[in-house]
Amino acid sequence: MRDAFIRVLGELAKNDSRIMLVTGDLGFKVFDEYALNYPRQFLNAGVAEQNMMGLATGLALEGRIVFVYSIANFPILRCLEQVRNDACYHQANVKIVSIGGGFSYGALGISHHATEDLSIMRALPEISVMAPGDLWETEEATKAMVDIPGTCYFRLDKSNAGYTNIDSEKFEFGKARCLKEGHDATLISTGGILNEVLKAYELLKEKGIFCRVLSLHTLKPLDLESILKAASETEAVLTIEEHTIEGGLGGAVAENFLECGVIPKKFKRIGLKSGFSSIVGSQQFLRKTYGVDAESIVSNVVQLLNSNRPTMMPNAK
> 76-90, 100-114, 269-283, 297-311 — which is least confidently predicted?
297-311
For residue 188, pLDDT beyond 70: yes
Residue among 48, 39, 94, 104 at smallest CA distance from 286: 104
Please provide the size of the chain in residues.
Answer: 317
The band of 165, judged by pLDDT with boundaries at 50, 70 and 90, is very high
List CB contacts of 201: < 8 A, sequence separation 6 or more: 180, 182, 187, 211, 213
Task: Tell me the mean pLDDT in the region 204-209.
Answer: 98
Strands (DSSP E) contained in the chain are 19-23, 42-44, 65-71, 94-99, 127-130, 151-156, 177-180, 185-189, 211-215, 218-220, 237-244, 267-272
- In angstroms, the CA 196 to CA 103 distance is 13
For residue 316, pLDDT beyond 50: no
- In angstroms, the CA 293 to CA 305 distance is 19
Average pLDDT, the chain: 94
Task: Please give the pLDDT value at position 317.
Answer: 36
Q: Report the C-alpha dihedral over residues 185, 189, 193, 195, rounded to 10 degrees.
A: 60
For residue 182, pLDDT beyond 60: yes
- In angstroms, the CA 297 to CA 210 distance is 14
69-104 residue pLDDT tens: 999 899 999 999 999 999 999 999 999 999 999 999
The band of 311, judged by pLDDT with boundaries at 50, 70 and 90, is very low
Beta partners for residue 155, in sequence order: 98
In this prediction the pTM is 0.94
Task: Please give the pLDDT value at position 309.
Answer: 64
Q: Report the C-alpha dihedral over residues 269, 271, 274, 277, rounded to 10 degrees.
A: 180
Supply the DSSP string of 177-235, one letter for each residue. Answer: EEEE--SSEEEEE-STTHHHHHHHHHHHHHTT--EEEEE--EEES--HHHHHHHHHHSS
How many beta carbons lie within 10 A of that of residue 84, not counting itself?
Answer: 18
- In angstroms, the CA 239 to CA 142 distance is 24
- In angstroms, the CA 21 to CA 222 distance is 27
Kindly list the structural domains of the chain, giving each domain's residue range(s) and its CATH number in brackets, ordered by start.
2-156 (3.40.50.970), 177-306 (3.40.50.920)
Task: Tell me the mean pLDDT in the region 4-20.
Answer: 97
Residue 43 in 3-state DSSP? strand
33-61 residue pLDDT tens: 999 999 999 999 999 999 999 999 999 99
H-run or E-run covering 78? none
